[in-house]
Amino acid sequence: MENQNIKKTILSGVQPSGTLTIGNYLGALRNWATMQYDYNCYFCVVDLHAITVRQVPAELRQNCLKTLALYLAVGIDPEKNTLFMQSHVPAHAELAWVLSCYTMFGELSRMTQFKDKSAKHSDNINAGLFTYPVLMAADILLYQPDLVPVGNDQKQHIEIARDIANRFNGVYSETFKIPEPYMPKAGARIMSLSEPTSKMSKSDLGDGSVFLLDSRDVVIKKIKRAVTDSGSEVKYAEGKDGINNLMSIYSAFTGKSFEDIEKEFDGKGYGAFKLAVAETVADSLSEIQDKYNVFISDKEQLNKILIEGAQKASYTAEKTLRKVYRKVGFYSVK
């Protein structure tokens, strides 16, 4: 077996703000389960980020455990990876403060996600929403990762993390490894079923998102109601956002190419295609849900994973933090 010390390090995480969707699964979690064999992986539940938007405390606590249980249910092995809760490792918040002093106001002002979230939550444009990318930079840089799996919507956050790291290294000498964004080829960008020009979201409580814990009936109902164009030909083409999205989902779950899908449904129309997509997704989610139900019912085991994960994560994170504190001139009695 390859020595873990010579494996490249990867870090990624998902917010526990709501139940994960098939978009989270196909775009991230499924790839993580594959990466765990080839990389030294840190996968966290990023609960500190979740509170930039108001959360119901009891729901947030439950969603944190649900997210961890779903990590396990899709095949992420706590023996092979470091699984932890972001708030259980204080170094995240501590490094974020130091890095905020090396991040320019103008850089944060240009972040598109801040503009988008400010528009959606105009009654709560808080400082945390503005400095979110600094905390994300701390999340990443603490573990000195080589690669950070990201979607297109997060590329800007990796770029600012690299800028902050380069700036700090330039002032104090080599301190942080400069991480590269990693976009797995197998990843799929899944769009909303009701608005196929927008990404599928955990916060969409309508019919636009299929959640990993949706029942079979709900999955089938949502996919049957998915928005499509006025045609009936199952063909991937520009301007057919709805049918393109359904083809992407079907392709991701079955491994079939768009060409294969077009041949399979030649002359059959949208109705037959939607049903096939719905049943394929429901069957796959049923397997995940069976495993999830086992994990979520064993809180003691989940807590054990989190305690051990926080210890492992803290060991690495605190080494980086101590180095940073020494470089900036903080006095230590140790």
The DSSP call for residue 11 is E
Is-same-fold flag (4-188+298-328; 216-294)? no
Enumerate the domain spans of the chain. 4-188+298-328, 216-294
The residues annotated with a catalytic role in the active site are 117, 199, 202
| Residue among 169, 208, 176, 170 nearest 192 (CA) | 208
Chain centroid to CA 302: 20
* pLDDT tens figures, 13-32: 999 987 899 998 998 899 89
Whole-number pLDDT of residue 185: 63
Q: CB neighbours of 283 closer than 8 A, spacing ≥ 6?
A: none
Query: CA-CA distances (angstroms) from residue 112 to 93, 96, 118, 229, 315?
Result: 23, 20, 10, 30, 34
Residues 191, 161: Cα–Cα separation, whole Å: 27
The DSSP call for residue 26 is I
Q: What's the whole-model pTM score?
A: 0.90
Which class does domain 4-188+298-328 fall in? Answer: alpha beta
CB 67 within 8 A of CB 27: no
Helical spans, DSSP H, in 57-152:
57-73, 91-100, 105-109, 112-120, 127-141
Question: What residues are paired with 44 via a beta bridge?
Answer: 13, 84
Fold of 216-294: Tyrosyl-Transfer RNA Synthetase (1.10.240)
* pLDDT tens figures, 111-122: 877 777 777 767
Whole-number pLDDT of residue 17: 81
Per-residue pLDDT band for 322 (boundaries 50, 70, 90) equals: very high
